[in-house]
Structure 1
Amino acid sequence: MLRRLLLAGLALGSLAMASLPPKDADRLIDDVRILAADDMQGRLVGTPGSAKARAYILQRFAEIDIVPILPAGFEQPFDFSHRGEPGKGVNIVGQIVGTDPSLPVLVVSAHYDHLGIRDGEIYNGADDNASGVAGLLAIAQAFKAKPPRHTVIFAVFDAEEEGLKGAKAFVAATPVPLARVALDLNLDMIGTNDKNELYVSGAFPFPWLRGRLEALAADAPVTLKLGHDDPKLGADDWSDQSDQGAFGAAGRPWVYFGVEDHPEYHKPADKFATIPQPFFKAAVATVVAAALAFEADLDAIAERKG
């Protein structure tokens, strides 16, 4: 049964990886261009640029027909402290309800904040992380086109750059019992690489995921490499360097997709124009395929079977 479920999921993934539908590919590029535009002012948490980005993401949730899961709607405000300074952030959280809402839940996450304006220069954050938010929206569009059995929660986090504050606030107050979250699929920097390489992390801390990730890599339209998840790597271990770290600290499994650092990382040069569109579209086709495959296999994932 497990093998049949996995193969079914991978078959869905292969369809997705052939290419994104042209209208979805065009929308993907628009999402990055708009979120990384100068008028978003670098999307620093707590700023007008952040609020403008949030309004755009809420508009896209409405267009896709993602529905609320929080009692008060889509927004999850939270307080945080960073280097002794108080701050306020706002996560954006919605769902596509599964055909069997009693089943385990998949979370798809990405952060929308970036570094704002420094010394008069806008840090647009096209790859970090307008690319991940655009990928999340593409995944939502795919699930809307083919409704999932399991509920899929879409969590767009704030204040990642301040120490994963939004993800930590979400994990501390999940809209479903935390034990129902079978997997977090996190996207952070999936847009820029000159070697056609995308990394997927999670096989080292969760060995029962390795076969699934290797099968995904074998059919991916990018060079999908496993790694960056072994504590022995020191700074090259990404396990706690993006929002998946908050899920791991709470004992929930995760899979992370991202590229290695590039010259534009955390620089004003991380602009829409520096996103290599063919790679980005292929990377998003890969993460869409992964999301479809994981959802089809989520019951076994919830039982941590490989």
Structure 2
Amino acid sequence: MQWIIGIVGCLFIFSAQAQLLKDIQELSADNMQGRKTGSDGTELARQFIAQRFEKLQLGAFNTSYLQMFNYGFGQHKTGTNVVGYQRGCTYPEHYIVVTAHYDHLGNEGKNIFHGADDNASGVAALLELASRLSERCSAYSYIFIATDAEENGLYGSKAFVSSPSVPLGNITLNLNLDMIGRPDRRGRLYLTGAKRYPALIALLAQQFSYLQYLPHRGPGQGLRSLPRYDWPNASDHGPFHRAGIPYLFFGGQDHRDYHTPNDTWQNIEPEFLEQAMQAIWHTVQWLEQQAPQSLQAPN
């Protein structure tokens, strides 16, 4: 019986890895044109994500998965978040918001900035989380947001925080996923915001030696090897952090293909991607076992 369980577990991991890679390939395909905010490529990406939300039977606020917003000087630019939710059973009025930006840099002539790692990988993980959590009634309620206009200044997450689908006081935590498909030069994936949860770090450290836990600090106060990173504001968790909402951020550093046309699905590292997904899933399982007040612990 034990070997049968082992085979089933391996098949589950293989299936999840295959789906993650398939979603990354779809979102970073040439026809997505680099998913620049306002382009036809972002419209295709939105359709892809919304169709998956519908297939997973996620709820929609105001009858639509789409949250349009204006941004920039004079508010003349428009972006669109894709937002779905799942109602929890134990703490239904407490929400964990999962974010991953789907926009990227677009194209320059024939050069397409595919954005496979940045951030089709995070969106693929968000969809995988939504799929796993839809298989049972979760303890918390979850809001899944594929944000737009992150590359332009975190405008999608800013728009949600300024006009949230639920009261900000009901949001217990933000889990943000950005660039999880490739390690940095030291083979690391970074987890920021976990220092407030020593029990979570102890759990993850048992299995995921490649994780680097960064202190919750601003620019110039982090690890000496990473002086130019303002980790609390490095991605879409920033607006949640500034609103006083705790966050956990899984993300990578710049790599040699960062913001270049070579950030393609072929350069994603499948084994690293799967390990990152497992760490994220272990984190969600841990969160599910915690009472809301314990997740609001101070830094």
Q: Higher relative contact order at CA 8 Å, sep ≥6: structure 1 or structure 2?
A: 1
1:6 corresponds in structure 2 to none
Give the one of 147, 153, 159 matched to 2:149: 159
Residue 119 and residue 220 in structure 1: after superposition, are their counterparts in 2 closer, same or farther (change >3 A)? farther
- The CA distance in 2 between the partners of 1:104 and 1:18, in whole Å, is 33
Is 1:266 the counterpart of 2:259? The answer is yes
Structure 2 residue corresponding to 1:224, chosen from 207, 211, 232: 211
State yes or no: 1:282 paired with 2:275: yes
The question of 1:47 aligning with 2:39 is answered yes
- Give the whole-Å Cα distance in 2 for the aligned partners of 1:65 and 1:219: 35
Say which of 164, 177, 182 aligns to 1:174.
Answer: 164
2-structure distance, mates of 1:95, 1:123: 30
Worse-matched range after superposition: 183-192 or 138-147: 138-147
SS at match of 1:30: helix
- Asked whether the 8 Å contact 1:103–1:299 carries over to 2, the reply is no
Contact 1:229 1:237 in 2 (8 A): no
Distance in structure 1 (CA, Å) of the matches to 2:265 and 2:143: 27
Conserved 8 A contact 2:101-2:119: yes
CA deviations 1:277-300 (Å, max 9, x no partner) are 111111111112112211321423
Offset at 1:226?
0.2
Opposite residue 212 of structure 1, the aligned amino acid is A
1:296 is the counterpart of 2:289: yes
* DSSP 3-state at the match of 2:181: coil
8 Å Cα contact 1:222/1:282 also seen in 2 = no
Matches within 5 A, 1:26-45: 26-45=18-37
Cα 1:27–1:37 change in 2 (3 A) is same
Which 10-residue stretch deviates more, 85-94 or 29-38? 85-94
The residue type paired with residue 271 of structure 2 is: P
Alignment of 1:120-159 (within 5 A): 120-159=110-149
Given the two structures, how large is their TM-score scaled by the length of structure 1? 0.86
Secondary structure of 2:97's partner?
strand
1:214 matched residue in structure 2:
201
Deviation of 1:19 after TM superposition, in Å, equals 8.5
- The equivalent position to 1:23 in structure 2, one of 8, 11, 15, is 15
The one-character-per-residue Cα deviations of 1:69-124 (angstroms, maximum 9, x if unpaired) are: x2131100001116x78310000111111114643111111000000012431000
Greater mean alpha carbon deviation, residues 269-278 or residues 144-153: 144-153
Q: CA deviation at 1:153?
A: 0.7
Query: Is the partner of 1:104 in helix, strand or coil?
Result: strand
Shift in CA distance, 40/113, structure 1 to aligned 2, threshold 3 Å: same
Per-residue CA deviation, residues 156-189 of structure 1 (Å, 9 max, x unaligned), is 1000001000000000111111011110000000
Counterpart amino acid of residue 96 in structure 1:
Q
AA aligned to 1:126 is A
Are 2:70 and 1:79 equivalent residues in the alignment?
A: yes
Which residue identity lines up with residue 202 of structure 2 in the other structure?
Answer: A
| Deviation at residue 195 of structure 1 after TM alignment | 4.4
Q: Percent identity?
A: 36
Q: 1:222 to 1:67 in 2, by over 3 A?
A: farther
Aligned-residue Cα RMSD (Å) equals 2.1
* 2-structure distance, mates of 1:220, 1:196: 15
Pair 128,303 (structure 1): closer, same or farther in 2 beyond 3 Å: closer
Note the residue ranges of structure 1 that are not aligned, 5 or more in a row.
Answer: 1-16
Paired residue for 1:67?
Answer: 59
State whether residues 106 and 298 of structure 1, in contact with CA within 8 Å, keep that contact through their aligned partners in structure 2.
no
Aligned to 1:88: 78
Q: TM-score, normalised by structure 2?
A: 0.88
Q: Distance in 2 between matches of 1:115 and 1:20?
A: 34
**For the residues of structure 1 that align with 2:217 and 2:298, how far apart are their CA atoms?**
20
**Alignment match of 1:243 (pick from 224, 233, 236):** 236
Aligned pairs for 1:100-139 within 5 A: 100=90, 102-139=92-129
Unaligned runs of 5+ in 2: 1-8
- AA at the equivalent of 1:75: L
CA contact (8 A) 2:100 2:123 kept: yes
1:225-257 deviation line (CA, Å, top 9, x unaligned)? 101642213522321110000101111111100
Contact 1:188 1:242 in 2 (8 A): yes
